Amino acid sequence: MTRLETLIEDSSAAKALEKALNHERLNHQDGLDIMKSDDLHLIGTVADEIREKDCSNKVSFVQSYNMNYTNYCVARCSICAFYRPYKKGVSSPDGYTLTLQEALDQVKDGVSLGATEIHIVGGFNPELPVEYYENLFRGIKERWPQVTIKALTLAEVSFIAKITRNSIEELFTRLKRAGLDAHTGGGAEIFDPTIRNIISTPPKCNSSEWLHTAEVAHKLGIPGNSTMLYGHVEGPEHIVDHMLRLRDSQDKSPGFLCFIPLKFSPGNTELLKSGKVTGESSSMLDLKVIATARLLLSNSINNISIYWVALGTELAQVALGYGGNDLVGTAFSEKVYGATGRNEVVTIERMAHLVREVGRIPVERDTFYKELRLL
Ligand code: SF4
């Protein structure tokens, strides 16, 4: 018996870890056993072994530029420090909606920084018609046909479809025709309805609507991210449930390119002000969530992406040893986490250096996880 096998035998998550090493699909109880186990290092070791098998020793990222076209929002989620409340005819001193020209000027900056992907999300602004998005996407593609447009959270798509009285199919079809290449997957938060009702408000779609929107996107040939916001008021059972619902969706209608666990950043949010959360999740939880994702999603969603903007670059490096194989992107100009006080700027050279420091091979990729070049 190897030392790893002996350690696994003594672990409270033994059954789940053995199944993972035998390439068996894990179930809800397995996920819970892993999340509740104190053997973090052992779980990370097994996740790292599965990661090597699933994705080799390369660590990828894309050169991306984040653009947030409006911060007006009717949803007012307690997890959010980015939005300004939308009220018809009333403007907020720091509220904004970019004009087409302002948006294109920002994209120009992003392209000049080397971005191959323009990542576009915003608040739920009911004044914007479908044409606003169509003109933006068309304008980008006309000027920079080489860039990939990864735009809108699935929650935004669900909202825009409702207020413009389009079906999800109709809306996606129009947006794709205008230049949309991929969705950003955001707004998933946590699917469990009890938790979801605490962290977001009704204009944001429920979990069935989110998953339906993803499935329609994938059927129409628009792939994208899958995400989960953790580290607020959820428990381990909600995390496991969320990951397994994504896996089920991927079985039904494949199109998720990656899974990105997003650590909740409480600065300036209502959840912090109300005392429902008192601070950030521990690094122990962050690493366990990443390892659990690798083990539960293996052979379904194989890219487990570490969002360094939320974790910080040092913890992101550690997370690469707990099942992560991707660092998302350079995220130039990111504002949503920036509103909570996280404002780190990282160049592509710095990202490559971070990867080399942990003994792995940095790779620039495109939006669709195709390798562009070794760095
Ligand atoms: S998380 Fe999104 S939907 Fe919720 S308030 Fe912020 S911008 Fe609006």
| Nearest partner of 333 among 96, 108, 84, judged by Cα | 108
Report the separation in Å between the CA atom of 203 and the middle of ligand 1, taken as the mean of its atom positions.
10
Confidence at residue 202, expressed as pLDDT on a 0 to 100 scale = 81
pLDDT category at 341 given cuts 50, 70, 90 is low
Q: How confident is the model over 199-203, as a mean pLDDT? A: 88
Strand partners, 90: 87
pLDDT category at 4 given cuts 50, 70, 90 is confident
Ranking 1-10, 16-25, 227-236, 333-342 by mean pLDDT, the lowest is: 333-342
Strand partners, 72: 84
What is the distance between the alpha carbons of residues 96 and 49, in angstroms, rounded to a whole number?
Answer: 47
Domain covering 58-374 in this structure, CATH number? 3.20.20.70
pLDDT category at 123 given cuts 50, 70, 90 is very high
User: Residues 23-60, buried b or exposed e (16+ Cβ, 10 A)?
Assistant: eeebeeebbbbbbebebbebbbbbbbebbeebbeeebb
Which run of H or E residues covers position 287? helix 283-297
pLDDT category at 113 given cuts 50, 70, 90 is confident
pLDDT category at 157 given cuts 50, 70, 90 is very high
Query: Which residue type sits at 231?
Result: G
Confidence at residue 104, expressed as pLDDT on a 0 to 100 scale = 97
DSSP state of 296: H
The pair of structure tokens assigned to 91 is 């403007």
**Mean pLDDT value across the chain:** 94
Q: How confident is the model over 210-219, as a mean pLDDT? A: 98
What is the distance between the alpha carbons of residues 207 and 189, in angstroms, rounded to a whole number?
Answer: 9
Confidence at residue 330, expressed as pLDDT on a 0 to 100 scale = 83
What is the distance between the alpha carbons of residues 246 and 136, in angstroms, rounded to a whole number?
Answer: 30
Report the separation in Å between the CA atom of 206 and the middle of ligand 1, taken as the mean of its atom positions.
14
pTM of this structure? 0.95
Of the CA atoms within 13 Å of residue 100, those in its CB half-sphere come to 13
Per residue in 25-83, pLDDT tens? 999 999 999 999 999 999 999 999 999 999 999 999 999 999 999 999 999 999 999 99
User: Residues 172-199, buried b or exposed e (16+ Cβ, 10 A)?
Assistant: bbbbbebbbbbbbbbbbbbbbeebbebb
In the chain, ranges of CATH 3.20.20.70 domains: 58-374
Confidence at residue 345, expressed as pLDDT on a 0 to 100 scale = 65
Please tell me which residue, 11 or 59, carries the higher pLDDT value.
59
73 within ligand 1 shell (Cβ under 6 A): yes
> Over 90: is that where the pLDDT of 232 sits?
yes
Mutation test residue for ligand 1: of 67, 82, 84, 335, the one with most atoms within 8 Å of CB:
82
Angle at 191 between CA 236 and CA 204, to 5 degrees: 140
83 within ligand 1 shell (Cβ under 6 A): yes
> Over 80: is that where the pLDDT of 335 sits?
no
Phi-psi sector, 24: left (phi>0), alpha (psi -120 to 50), beta: beta
What is the distance between the alpha carbons of residues 155 and 365, in angstroms, rounded to a whole number?
Answer: 26
Helix axis angle, 14-21 to 28-36, nearest 10°: 120
Confidence at residue 10, expressed as pLDDT on a 0 to 100 scale = 79
pLDDT category at 334 given cuts 50, 70, 90 is low
Mutation test residue for ligand 1: of 78, 200, 227, 270, the one with most atoms within 8 Å of CB:
200
What is the distance between the alpha carbons of residues 163 and 126, in angstroms, rounded to a whole number?
Answer: 7
Q: How confident is the model over 289-317, as a mean pLDDT? A: 96
Strands 64-68 and 117-121: parallel
43 within ligand 1 shell (Cβ under 6 A): no
The pair of structure tokens assigned to 177 is 């025709």
Percent of the chain with pLDDT over 70: 96
Q: What share of the chain is helix, strand, coil (3-state, %, to 5)?
A: 45, 15, 40
Confidence at residue 3, expressed as pLDDT on a 0 to 100 scale = 75
Query: Which residue type sits at 42?
Result: L
The pair of structure tokens assigned to 113 is 């920084």
